[in-house]
Structure formats: structure tokens, C-alpha cells
Amino acid sequence: MGANARVNVSVVVVNWNAGAALAACIASLAADDGAEREVVLVDNASTDGSLAAIPRRPWLRVVETGSNLGFAAGANRGAEAARGTTLVFLNPDATVRPGAIACLVATLEASPRAGIAGGGLRAPTGRWQPGWARFAPVRHLVLDTTIGRLPSRWRRVPHEVDWVYGTFMAVQRTVFEQLGGFDQRYFVYGEDADVCYRAARLGVRTIHVPEAEAVHGANVSATHRYGRGREAEVMKGELRFYARRGPAVLHVFRTLAACKFGVKAAMAAAVGRADAASTYARVVGACVRFHS
């Protein structure tokens, strides 16, 4: 695609040491290459050779930030460089299935008052993964669980939700700019819930499109950075989100989350799952030590 060609969709991929997963991600976009579409690859100073392994293509633009800005700031940098009227954010450890981007964008454009859409997610084994969640702290902790999400596994039609995962998310550029992009106070985790919440306050709907599927593999970058502490970092992102909604909301979420994961840690320890118990204990620690 030439520099002056019309661009309707810009796919923004933020990379930091995603290894071979990045090559698979870009390859899936190449296989699903559509007219009037570009890919903006933002590299946060990777040191693993993942950027160098990507062949340059006419529709691929590379933005090198020079340091690890995190996801929110990196995604904003990509959005600034993008030319599309719709921005699609895709994790470097995800691959899109053929037609997924076109389906996601078309459904978003056809949905009244919708400005954000998230796609369906699958593990490499084909197992269903959650792609959306709820704002309310109690409903989030109780219903956004394995049992609470059972009805979502069979739902195939687009539907309105509170927020969608940034793993595979489309945002109308006008909405993204009105919101000022992702809140860069989030380094990683929580920025997707935050942007959907701020959109909802403006009367903008967020929808989930199960048929627009991406395959989401291991969280390579986050695991590389945080190791066994990754789940605790996810909790820290959620705590930041609820802290911005007020001390009362934060107190409810923090208290219930600490209790929930404390019980999970105890149960895991009781059955000899030491690694799981350690992971849950780290999450409890994040709840206890968090300061807004």
C-alpha cells in the first residue's frame, strides 16, 4: 500500500520482546491482508531480535519508541502514526483468523452508538477464552469467573458489554481522539477497562463480537517482564481502575478481591498446588499493598 493510498483500518501492534509470537502475529495479518488497511508496529525497544525478524512490507509501518513505554503509551504512539478511520489494537501474542478484522470493523460500523468493539478469543488449542468483563466490582469478581462466564461460551451474536479486552479491540478514531487515547498512567493492564468506562460515560457503547476471532497464545511479553507475578500485575491494573472511581468503590473491590484470592490460595495449598498457591498469594499481596 502506497503512502498516499486511502486507509480505512489501521491495525496497531505494540511489541516488547514478544519473540517468535510477533512473527506469527504479523504473518496472520499478512494472510488476512485487506484493501485500505495498514499495520503499525510499535516497538518498545525490544532486545530479543523480534523486530529484526519481521520482513518489511508495503502495508507495514514501524514506529520505534526508543524505550519500553508500556502498552497504553505505545498504543497511543501507534494511533498517532496511524492513518485509519478505525483503529484495531492487537496483542503481539495473538493471531487473527481470516476475515476477523473485517467482521469486527463492519459490526462496529453497523452498530448504532457503538464506538468500541472487541473480538472473540481462543487459545491455540481451540479452547474459548473470555474477551469481555463487567465494571461493577462485585459483579466482576463474582460473575467474571469460569462458572459465571458459561453462558458467554455459547453466545455467537454481537452484544453490548461493559468493557472488552485490549487483546483484540477496535475503536473508532473519532472516539479514541475524543477520549484522549488510552490513559498512560496504566503501564499495562487496566487501560482497556478504563477506556471503555470513559467511553460509556460519553454515551458510547462497547460491543463484543464473538465471530471475529483471534487466537491468543501465551502472554510472552508480560511473562518475560513479570514471571510468576503477572497475575498480581493484572490485579494492580484493576485496582488502579477502581481507585479512579473513588475510595468507596476501591475499598469494596480490594476487600472482596483479597478474600476471593486468599481463599483460592488456601485451597490450592491444601491440594498441593504450590505454584498456584504462590500466584494467588501474590495477588492478595497486591491488594493489601496497593496505594492509589
Q: What is the pLDDT of residues 121-157, one digit of tens each?
A: 999 999 999 999 999 999 999 999 988 899 989 999 9
Query: What confidence tens digit (pLDDT) does each residue in 216-246 have?
Result: 987 766 666 667 788 999 999 999 999 999 9
Q: Which helix (H) or strand (E) holds 187?
A: none
User: Which of helix, strand or coil describes residue 9?
Assistant: strand
In the chain, where the domains are located? 9-223, 246-289
The residue among 7, 26, 3, 28 whose CA lies nearest residue 15 is: 26
Look at residue 1 in the predicted model and tell me its pLDDT.
Answer: 45
Q: Calculate mean pLDDT across residues 2-25.
A: 87
> Which cell is 116 given?
468500541
Domain 9-223: state its class. alpha beta
d(CA 115, CA 198): 11
